[in-house]
Amino acid sequence: MTNETHAGHPAFSADWWEQHYQAHPRGHVSPGPQLVAEVADLPPGTALDAGCGTGADAIWLASRGWQVTAVDASSTAVGRAQRLAVQQDPAIAQRITWLTADLTSWQPAQRYDLVTSQYVHPDLPFDRFVARLAAAVADGGTLLVVGHDHADTHSAAHAPRTASIGLDAVVGSLPEAQWEVAVAESRTREVHHDSKQLTIHDFVVRAHRAPSP
């Protein structure tokens, strides 16, 4: 979207996302390729999908044995995700806890073996958002953050300007004494959009919190 607001709501506020999902009834049904690439080999445990959208990533994680807490600011998105999970496999759906909450203020009741956030654009500076995500990672756990890279001209043309994030905003939020950054890079992927093939640029950061002494 080229506009910064939905019906007068500031871009990326909770109300903005609710309007976004009401206006876009179709959601992704396949997990994000960067999630699959970075998490497929991890042993399952507890996971937080921060900004779950319509649920494809949470469902994929649950199908691989993860116990998932999936959170999004939009009740429309969460409701759609919950129905999709039940339709695909009730046993998988039982491994997912769905929550409607604003990630800029929501405080998780536990820490997780995996915290993943993909293409989430919160209504606060992104480095502060990453710090909130990092605080939810258990000792020895993994943080995966994926987003639209500054180099991605398609996203820049179709979303508010703050939708594109640089790697420094993520890596700079992870103190070296506590974190090992295993992956911090920009990647390209090919997608089909409106009968056109586009090259999309993603930033990908995977980091591991140091285990407890």
- Decide yes or no: CATH 3.30.413.10 for domain 5-209: no
Tell which wins on pLDDT, 83 or 149. 83
Residue 120 corresponds to which amino acid?
V
What pLDDT, in 10s, does the model give residues 165-213? Answer: 778 889 999 999 999 999 999 998 877 666 678 788 889 999 999 998 7
In this prediction the pTM is 0.85
The radius of gyration computed from the CA coordinates of the chain, to the nearest angstrom, equals: 16
Please tell me the predicted confidence (pLDDT) of residue 121: 78
Is pLDDT above 90 for 44? yes
- Can you give the pLDDT at residue 159? 52
- pLDDT tens column, 104-146: 999 999 999 999 999 887 878 889 999 999 999 999 999 999 9
* Domain layout of the chain by residue ranges: 5-209
For range 59-83, the mean pLDDT: 95
37-56 average pLDDT score: 96
Higher pLDDT, 84 or 158: 84
DSSP-derived pairing of the beta strands 9-10 and 137-149: unpaired
For the chain, give the number of residues: 213
